[in-house]
């Protein structure tokens, strides 16, 4: 291949710019051209496409968000949209596509693959909920952002002897809650992958207070339920005066961590390597410290993400 495209799709994640930069720099290094597609699949269909130079990605590795913009575009589920996209790429002479994003982005890459267009999907989402990879681009940054917030909230919780429920992102996956729960020394972690017994949660708070704990911090994955809902359930059992904090959109932003920048760079370069060899229909992952490529159809059809539940057990043993 001589000319490839790159787009970001779905929710943005820190490190997406680092991935785009790696795609561009590696392509130029290999003598290939790169076109950037704005606003994800929407821009692809609309032809919002431009050539990228090395200068376009200068001073970009450290920035949060995505300079190619992102958008949700449900219409891409239709064959019409997909064919239009392929037509646009032909018009620009683009022979292969790098798609950076989460679940929906992979669905788009899957569809293009079925139409025979060479795509490589890169897992880019803070939620870490993508099959075929131990970590996604943005996850490491997100957990450090959440952790910093938890550290701040602990200052206040300790000063006032309070119980806090902190609702964190993660969609249907508990990864963010798990990692930040362990890292912050949270008393309890509530994730979709594990059930919970609200009576037991209340009992644990009471026990902690009897042991002299100044604060109780409960990290709640958004996939379980809303933080306020959870707090109401707790307060219905005992008069805990639970405080709720929903961390919200701050979790998506920020300058990427070292690990996210490195991972994004590795993924970006690898994607170019594969496309250069004419290989498509793939998605990348880091599995046991190795950057590998999976068949994207097999990945979406047959693989499933599961968080590291050993961390759940670990927290039960050392948090109380």
| Cα–Cα distance list, 32 to 40, 284, 297 (Å) | 21, 20, 26
With respect to its own copies, which residue has the nearer C-beta, 151 or 229? 151
Has 171 been labeled as part of a binding site?
yes
Distance CA 109, CA 88 (A): 15
Distance CA 3, CA 163 (A): 56
Distance CA 97, CA 42 (A): 14
Per rule CB under 8 A, is residue 235 in the interface with its own copies? no
With respect to its own copies, which residue has the nearer C-beta, 68 or 201? 68
Has 162 been labeled as part of a binding site?
yes
Structure tokens at 308: 């590291």
Per rule CB under 8 A, is residue 268 in the interface with its own copies? yes
Least distance to its own copies, CB of residue 113, Å: 25
Q: In the stretch 66-105, what mask flags binding to its own copies with x, by CB under 8 A?
A: x--xxx----------------------------------
Residue 129 CB-half CA count within 13 A: 21
Question: Looking at residue 137, what DSSP letter applies?
Answer: B
* Touching its own copies, residues 114-133 (CB under 8 A): none
Per rule CB under 8 A, is residue 317 in the interface with its own copies? yes
Per rule CB under 8 A, is residue 54 in the interface with its own copies? yes
Per rule CB under 8 A, is residue 7 in the interface with its own copies? no
Distance CA 115, CA 296 (A): 13
Has 209 been labeled as part of a binding site?
no
Per rule CB under 8 A, is residue 9 in the interface with its own copies? no
With respect to its own copies, which residue has the nearer C-beta, 38 or 113? 38
Angle at which helix 139-160 crosses helix 175-184, to 10 degrees, equals 50
Per rule CB under 8 A, is residue 161 in the interface with its own copies? yes
With respect to its own copies, which residue has the nearer C-beta, 192 or 268? 268
Count helices and strands in the chain by DSSP H and E runs: 11, 11
Query: Is 127 part of the annotated catalytic residue set?
Result: yes
Per rule CB under 8 A, is residue 32 in the interface with its own copies? no
168 within 8 A of 127, measured Cβ to Cβ: no
With respect to its own copies, which residue has the nearer C-beta, 88 or 180? 180
Catalytic choice (48, 56, 59, 127): 127
Strands 290-295 and 163-168: unpaired
* Touching its own copies, residues 164-223 (CB under 8 A): 164, 179-180, 182-185, 211-214
- Partnered with residue 190 across adjacent β-strands are 220
Structure tokens at 193: 């992958």
Distance CA 9, CA 7 (A): 7
Of 44, 61, 99, 190, the residue at the interface with its own copies (CB under 8 A) is 61
Question: Looking at residue 124, what DSSP letter applies?
Answer: B
Of 172, 193, 225, 246, the residue at the interface with its own copies (CB under 8 A) is 246
**Residues annotated as catalytic (active site), given as ranges:** 127
Binding residues for ADP: 21-25, 154, 185-187, 211, 213-215
């Amino acid at each position: 291949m001589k000319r490839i495209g790159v787009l970001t799709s779905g929710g943005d994640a820190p490190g997406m710019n680092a991935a785009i930069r790696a795609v561009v720099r590696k392509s130029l290094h290999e003598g290939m051209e790169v076109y950037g597609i704005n606003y994800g699949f929407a821009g692809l269909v609309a032809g919002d496409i431009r050539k990228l130079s090395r200068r376009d990605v200068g001073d970009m590795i450290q920035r949060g968000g995505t300079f190619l913009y992102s958008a949700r575009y449900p219409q891409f589920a239709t064959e019409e949209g997909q064919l239009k996209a392929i037509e646009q790429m032909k018009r620009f002479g683009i022979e292969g596509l790098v798609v950076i994003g989460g679940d929906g982005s992979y669905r788009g890459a899957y569809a293009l693959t079925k139409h025979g267009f060479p795509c490589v999907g890169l897992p880019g989402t803070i939620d870490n909920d993508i099959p075929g990879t131990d970590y996604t681009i943005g996850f490491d940054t997100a957990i450090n952002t959440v952790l910093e917030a938890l550290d701040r909230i602990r200052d206040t919780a300790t000063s006032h002897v309070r119980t806090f429920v902190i609702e964190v992102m993660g969609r249907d996956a508990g990864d963010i809650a798990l990692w930040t729960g362990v890292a912050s020394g949270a008393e309890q972690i509530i994730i979709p992958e594990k059930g919970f017994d609200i009576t037991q949660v209340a009992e644990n708070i009471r026990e902690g207070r009897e042991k002299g704990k100044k604060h109780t911090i409960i990290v709640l994955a958004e996939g379980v339920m809303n933080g306020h809902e959870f707090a109401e359930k707790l307060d219905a059992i005992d008069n805990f005066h639970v405080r709720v904090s929903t961390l919200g959109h701050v979790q998506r932003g920020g300058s990427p961590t070292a690990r996210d920048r490195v991972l994004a760079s590795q993924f970006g370069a690898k994607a170019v390597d594969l496309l250069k060899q004419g290989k498509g229909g793939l998605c990348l992952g880091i599995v046991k410290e190795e950057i590998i490529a999976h068949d994207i159809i097999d990945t979406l059809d047959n693989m499933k993400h599961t968080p590291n539940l050993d961390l759940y057990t670990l927290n039960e043993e050392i948090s109380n």
